Structure 1
Amino acid sequence: MTAGGQHVSTLEGRTVLITGAGSGIGRATARLTAAAGAFVVATDVKGHDETAAAITEDGGGAEARTLDITDAGAWRSVVDEVLSSHGRIDGLANIAGIVSSTDTLLTQTEEGWDRLIGVDLKGPWLGMRAVIRHMLAAGSGKIVNTASTAGLIGMPDVLAYSAAKGGVIAMSRQVAVEYAARNVQVNVVAPGVIRTPMHGDVTPELMTAVKAATPAGRIGEPEDIGNMVVYLLGPAADFVTGQVFTVDGGWTAQ
């Protein structure tokens, strides 16, 4: 099977649950994960049916399940259903996330803060809690969480978002250390500016400025992140855990 001009089979026989699979990075990751041979459980609150259908049309294996990642009960239900149907969850990719257009110390509301932290930090925490017992019982597992360059360096207008993404990094390291000896690897991908619906309201002028400030000379594509996630879900990353992989075209290296 191919995706994005590539042919890979590193995840053959594995079942991988992906959040945020309805669009953007999540959809690209789902399609690349299926192209690598995995059966993909595409979850989201919308768009995941189309993602699963596209994977099936490409000759891969996938199913769609609706999931509100801030709901612990919803996580338990989806994980139980997947285990009942497939008997295993080898990988979890927490891709779902949100941003806010008014996210500074003085403009962010308490409701907005709670919403961002709930989706971007609590959601991955609930996801890891939901799958970890099965992975420990199975003797192996891989978890990839999504942070952001905003969780690594200071940026304007992303206060709650940065706090959440920084929390994802710290949380992932703790879980990685706790379960490394039991063959569960936990890593983080930190994207730079990626061309996704999340950035749909960014002006062309700002995107041009970001492109000019990026050593690679371009804006990132969802597949750039998806390819890193596929690597971290696969056997080549068996000795890799507790790490943060920044995928930003060299922007934070300056």
Structure 2
Amino acid sequence: MSDLPPLQEATLRDKVAVVTGAAQGIGRATALRLAAEGALVTCADIKDTRETVALAEKEGGQAVGVELDVRVAADWEAGIAGVLERHGRVDLLANVAGIVNMQSEDTVVGLTEEAWDNVLATDLKGIWLGMRAVIPSMIEAGGGRIVNISSLAALRGLPNLASYSAAKGGVIGLTQQAAFEYGPRNVLVNAIAPGTIDTPILGDITPEMKAANARAHIIDRLGLPEEIASMVAYLFREGRFVTGQVYPVDGGWSAKGNY
């Protein structure tokens, strides 16, 4: 007979969570959702996370901020060392931090090498470094859960997103390989592929472009960061028999036959 607790007892209370990209957008929404459910959240970002921490605390949650550049191994080592010093373990990692290419045209021919390197370093290398930093302590503690943010751009061809699509496709491959590698040690790794989400990353696009992105979904609007955060929380809280999977949270875009 299984010694796992009943499903209705699943909770995030007092789980130790690290969320990257927590200064804004999906990362902030995820940090706030996990804190609201009782997790002890470290809000990691290259930007200032004090506002996210204050919002979490205002709602009765527990959160701290740490400056962390996901591209830099030393930042990960120092950041996770701080979490282990405070709490003794890491139960949950939400790898959210990501960028789009704003340095050049993002096509195979139009990309600059600098732009390619920057996107791949943030959106793919950062995921790898994060998992590398937390998995040993998760194994030592008896397990953990990781959710990596990919994109619908990894699942279908979209215009002017060559480096982004490559990085987010790599996230899916890395997620599935890590799930296979570390699942036997009770480290469960999944990915989410959002559609177009209304975050600051869309700040420079026109209303017409936003409307076109909304129409690509079956649900005719942009997604909300909180809707991605809810799936992260579900996988962390309930997903004890789930690993190596990619979940589109995209308003039905991936089921639609046209862009």
TM range (shorter): over 0.9
Q: CA offsets, 1:132-191, max 9 Å, x none? A: 000001111000000000011111100010000000000010000111111110000110
2:175 to 165, 172, 175: 172
Structure 1 Cα separation of the partners of residues 48 and 160 of structure 2: 28
- 1:210 Cα deviation from its structure 2 partner: 2.1
Structure 2 Cα separation of the partners of residues 24 and 42 of structure 1: 13
- 1:98 Cα deviation from its structure 2 partner: 0.3
- 1:104 Cα deviation from its structure 2 partner: 0.7
One-letter amino acid matched to 2:199: T
One-letter amino acid matched to 1:39: L
Structure 2 Cα separation of the partners of residues 245 and 148 of structure 1: 10
1:201 equivalenced with 2:204 (yes/no): yes
1:149 equivalenced with 2:147 (yes/no): no
The answer on whether the counterparts of 2:15 and 2:40 sit within 8 Å (CA) in structure 1 is yes
Name the counterpart of 1:80: 81
Q: Which moved more, 1:33-42 or 1:205-214?
A: 205-214
- 1:206 Cα deviation from its structure 2 partner: 1.5
Q: Which moved more, 1:98-107 or 1:12-21?
A: 98-107
- 1:213 Cα deviation from its structure 2 partner: 2.9
Name the counterpart of 1:90: 91
Gaps of 5+ in 1: 1-8
Q: CA offsets, 1:194-246, max 9 Å, x none? A: 00000111111121122223211211000010000111111x10110000000
Name the counterpart of 1:162: 165
1:32 equivalenced with 2:33 (yes/no): yes
Name the counterpart of 1:114: 117
Aligned to 1:64, what secondary structure does the other structure show?
A: strand
RMSD across aligned positions (CA): 1.0
Name the counterpart of 1:135: 138
One-letter amino acid matched to 2:18: L
Identity %: 51
Normalised TM-score (structure 2): 0.93
Gaps of 5+ in 2: 1-9
One-letter amino acid matched to 1:158: L
Structure 2 Cα separation of the partners of residues 76 and 202 of structure 1: 36
One-letter amino acid matched to 1:47: D
Aligned length: 245
Normalised TM-score (structure 1): 0.94
The answer on whether the counterparts of 2:48 and 2:67 sit within 8 Å (CA) in structure 1 is no
Q: CA offsets, 1:30-83, max 9 Å, x none? A: 000111110110010113111011101111000000000011011000101110
One-letter amino acid matched to 2:64: E
Structure 2 Cα separation of the partners of residues 57 and 210 of structure 1: 34
Aligned to 2:66, what secondary structure does the other structure show?
A: strand
Aligned to 2:220, what secondary structure does the other structure show?
A: coil
1:68 equivalenced with 2:108 (yes/no): no
2:244 to 239, 242, 245: 242
Q: CA offsets, 1:74-130, max 9 Å, x none? A: 100010111011111100000000001421112210011000000000001000000
One-letter amino acid matched to 1:253: A
Name the counterpart of 2:49: 48
Aligned to 1:156, what secondary structure does the other structure show?
A: coil
The answer on whether the counterparts of 1:23 and 1:47 sit within 8 Å (CA) in structure 2 is no
One-letter amino acid matched to 2:94: A
